[in-house]
Structure formats: structure tokens, C-alpha cells
Structure 1
Amino acid sequence: MGIIIHVDIDAFYASVEELDDNRIIGKPVVVGGKSNHGVVTTANYVARKYGIHSAMPMYMAKNLCDHLIIKPMRRDRYLEKSREVFEVLRTYTDKIEKVSIDESYLDVTGLGYDENIVYELQKDVFNKTGLSVSVGLSYNKFLAKLASDWNKPSGVMVIRESDIPEILFPLDIRKVHGIGRKSEEKLRNIGINKVEDLYELSYEFLANMFKKSGEEIYNRIRGVDNREVTPNTMRKSLGTESTFEATKNKEELINYLKEFSKEVSEDLIVKEISGYTLTLKMKNEKFKVKTRSKTYDNAIYEEGDILNKSMEIFDEAYEGEKLRLIGITVSNLVDLNIRQLSFFSRRKNEKN
């Protein structure tokens, strides 16, 4: 039986802004583009009480809260604070899997820690970085992540084997890792809304409906998740996308590309990877999906490169129709340090 911890920095970007400017503490704060065509990247918990959430167009956020405080993105500052948090986490274990700039799994199996570790870790991060984290502990990744999300912000939760499955029964099915939007819609159409409803479905039924993911869903709500915490795992791709009210406003669509370029770049840098292939995804109002990819000689990871190349693909592929989804993905990934070494090596050879 493992001991897995999931750590999530609460409203990370907005929390950093509050940390650097205590005048805005207790007020509704979002981070993102200030123009009406901008997008909310992060909303603090005060802003969320107004119904504001990440990926929401900024004009909608302003309509929901007329005294909203909007802070521009400061990527370098967020990366600096993220590194501080991860430095604290590494004092507990080297077996850390970075999920994103503000989220990680720790495997502390066999290190002799008791359940009080979650309180110690949370206090340690706050004392050394000024940031609050929500921490979940359990015996697998699915339950540890679920626990960290249980009573945010500054939440602490332990889910024991004896708690399963009853503790999961009241939860909405969207809380189950592996249930995406399409799967959620299928389940709700047959009256499955809570985990308790889902629990009544047979293995055969779920496997038939969702194939391999059906098997995973069946097992996870019974407390079974065999995924390991894997430090420095090289993913096949990294990207982000957003669904919105259908529009053909080119400025608004480009704004999404700007926000996504920042987000993807930050994730690549935190994970210390870069990629040779960039893919643009678009879905029109009739739900027809179009993807366009380009592979480059040099791996990319910087925000400016990702944005410029996304814009080039967008200009070539976009035909003026109304879109309801747009996204970018970087794939064909390599270790960032290897990429940099090969680049400098090539430059040296060119000079010689």
C-alpha cells in the first residue's frame, strides 16, 4: 500500500499577486488579459463567489463583478514562486511528479511518515513561500488528488482504504478522473449523476460503453488506481484548449492563442521540456474539428515562439467561420536541457 500526496497551490497566479500587493487581499482578483477580448487565466476565491472562473472571457467576468481587479500575467514571477514551492517539496522526497506549474504528486511510501505529514508540509510551504496549498493524502493518485480538492482553499484531507467506496458516493461524476465531457454527457443521459449511481453499473456495462476508460472508471470508484508517481516522465504532448460561445471575431480568437501560448510555455519550462511539433485545433459552430500541425527544425518552448508559430498556422488554416473551440498542443517532446545543449553544440560547429 503506497502513501501518495497531492499538492495543489491555491489560485496560484492570483495568490502570487496578493502576496506581492497586500492591498488587494480580500478583494476579487483575476489574472489575465485586461481587454474585453482577454481571458481569465486564474481567479481568486473571492472572484469565484461571483461565478468567475478560468478560461472565462474577460468581458463576462467584468459583467459579473464591476469592481473586479485585473492583474496582467507575470510569467517569470510565477515560475520563481513555483520553484520555491518545489524546493520545499523536495525536502520531503525526491519522488515528485510535476503535473503543472502549481500541482504535483509526491510518493512518500516507505519513508516512515504518518498522516500528520500533510499538515507539516502545508505549514512548511506557507512559512517558506507565503503561499497556501491544499494537500491530499491517500494510497493512490486518484484518491490523493480528490482529497486535495475536497475543502479548498488551504484544505487538508486524508482518504483511507476503509473510507472507500462510501466516501465517494455523494460526489458528482465529473470528479472521477477519466470521465471527460463526452462521457459525462452519456452518463447523465441515462440518469447517472453521482458516484453512487455509477457504482451500480456493472463492469461489462462500463467497458462496453467506454472501452478501456470504462475499466479504469469501474476500478477507480472502488479505490483501485495503479498509476505510479513518475518523476521526470516525458509526455507525448502538452497543450491546452477552451470552448466558448461561437465567434468569428479574429481579435478574440487570437487572444486565446496568446493566453494559451503563455500557459503552454510555462508548463514546458516547469517540466523542463520542449517540442518540435506544434498543432492548432479548431472546432466550428457545427462541431466540425480541424487540426493543422507543423514540425520545426528547432524545438520550441518560449512563449513568443509558440505564439508566432500558432499565428502562422492560424492565418493559413482559418477560413473566417465561427469557432466554438480553439487550442494548441506542442508534441514530439525532448528534454529542454538536451535541446539547449544540441543547439549550442550546433552553433559552435557552425562557427568552426
Structure 2
Amino acid sequence: MTRELPYIAAMNEALHLEMARDEDVLLFGQTVGEDHYETFPRDFGTDRVRVTPISETAEIGMAAGAALAGKRPVVDCTMAEFLLVAMDQVVNEANRIHQMTGGRLTAPLVLKAGYGFTAGWAGQHTGALYGMFMGVPGLKVALPSTPADAKGLLATAIRDDNPVLFLHHYLLLLETGPVPEGEHLVPFGVADIKRPGSDVTLVATGWTVHRALAAAETLAAEGIDVEVIDPRTIAPLDVDTVLASVARTGRLVLVDQATRHASVSTVIAGEVAEHGFSLLRAPIVQVTALDATVAYAQPMEEYVLPDEAKIAAAVRQVTGAKAGVA
């Protein structure tokens, strides 16, 4: 059974169910005393739900130590940019423990943070920084685009025996969608085909999945059948599903809110170019943010970021080959 839930409620439901299932799951963060977490201290006590000082290095370091001691901490880091303050612990400490101890130790730690607040928040809170984490050994990265995936990926992240970076888009928090009741797990490294199609493969991440689906509907009215794929996790990355789709469509458009040269789309383009070049009937096209800081002014913000019109134009570009030379 499913019912409609906002994205933020789906995440909280996953966390609540996992804390009820396993007493080793803890919740840390500077904002865990706010309204949307109000039931957690009541239901699990202040020993397991800790409001931390305003120090990302302290809260992530505390969580890493708790993970090594056998706990499963979830740290609400608020904004992805705040992770930058504690980069050593994120990319050079907890993520390396399992390998450096020959598998004898694990660090089951979830770092939960919002990103991409493109609603007039200017340069320092609008970034899509996930690309810089996807190649870090020992660190998994989840980017849910729907409430159901948010619930399922967070539960899977909490049960993982090593660090997971769980990134949720701020502009999706109040979006509603069908969410399964009870336990719901979404496996890592398994992309989801959000919309089947036969003419073009369109791969999008996070917030851009919804822009891609909207563009696909517009293009359908023009007779262009677009398949939309959401990787859901970028580490591990499901390249096989993308290649299988390109084998059917012969065309690939990649959409990413990150800047072009720090994007997931660039990595996927490289994988398809290496492993599926002979499948392509047109050049790969990427629709990303420009290599620029997001401005405060709305027209400048819109100029920098991908949107439905830019995506549709890219699809028309690759299908121009369909009418001409394919």
C-alpha cells in the first residue's frame, strides 16, 4: 500500500522506522531540535537524539567515532556546503577505515544534507556539490528525486556498514508523491527508468529529474519519445542501465544541476563514450549549469541553471540527426 507524502515526511518516516528497529541508530545535528524533528526526542530520548554545537567538524567527528564504536549515527548537516568545513573527516577518515583495516572495522555513518537551494539564496547555498564526492573511495552518494526514493534510499543508507552521503534537494522537500507504507528499501547502484521511451535516452539527477520529465511530456506532443532515467545513486553508479537504454535509442542527453566540469553528467558521458560509442547515432549532449556562481537575481539564476526549455532544445538537437541522417 502507498499513500501521498511530502518528500521531507518520507525521509523522516524512514529515519523514525530505522531508529525504532535498531537502537544503535542515533541522530545528531545542529537543527535536530527543530519542528520537523519534534517527535524524535520524545520517542527515542536525548541520549540518541543530540543537538550539537555549531561545529561541523565536531558533529561529524563525533559521529565517526560513534560509528567506529558500533553505533549507526545519522548526522543532519543541514546544507551540503557545511560539509566543506569537515572535508578531512568526510573524504579522508571514516570512508577509509574499512579498507585500511583490512575489513576488520566498519564506519556505518550517514551524512544527510540539503543542496541546490536555487530560490534567491545566491552563491553559497545553491551549489550542487555532489560531483566532488562521487569518486571518493569508500563513500557512497545517494541523490533521491522522489519521496518514495527518499524514504527507500535513506533506510538503505542507515543499514549500510560504511559512510553514505545522502543529499536531498531543498526545492523537493515539500513535493508530494506515493510512498510505500512500512519498511521500504531502495538498493544502491540501481537506476530507475522514470519514463520509458524509444527515441532518446535522457539521464537526470535529483531536482533535474522533474525538469526532464516535464520536457519529455512537451516533446511527446511533438512526436519525440524520450526515456528518462534517474541514477538515484551516483556512487555506486549504474552505468549498465544507461548503456542498455542507449542501445535502444541511439541518443543520449544528460542533465545535471552541477557545473559542467564538476558534474555527474560528464562522468556518465565518459562511460558511454568508452563503453557504448558504437551505439550512438548522434553526439552526446550535456545540459548543465554554467561554470559560474549562482547569482542572487532571479534572471541570472535562471540563466545559469538547466531548465525544461534547455533540456527540450538539447533533445531536439540530437533528434535532428534522426530526421536527417539516421
TM-score by length of 2: 0.28
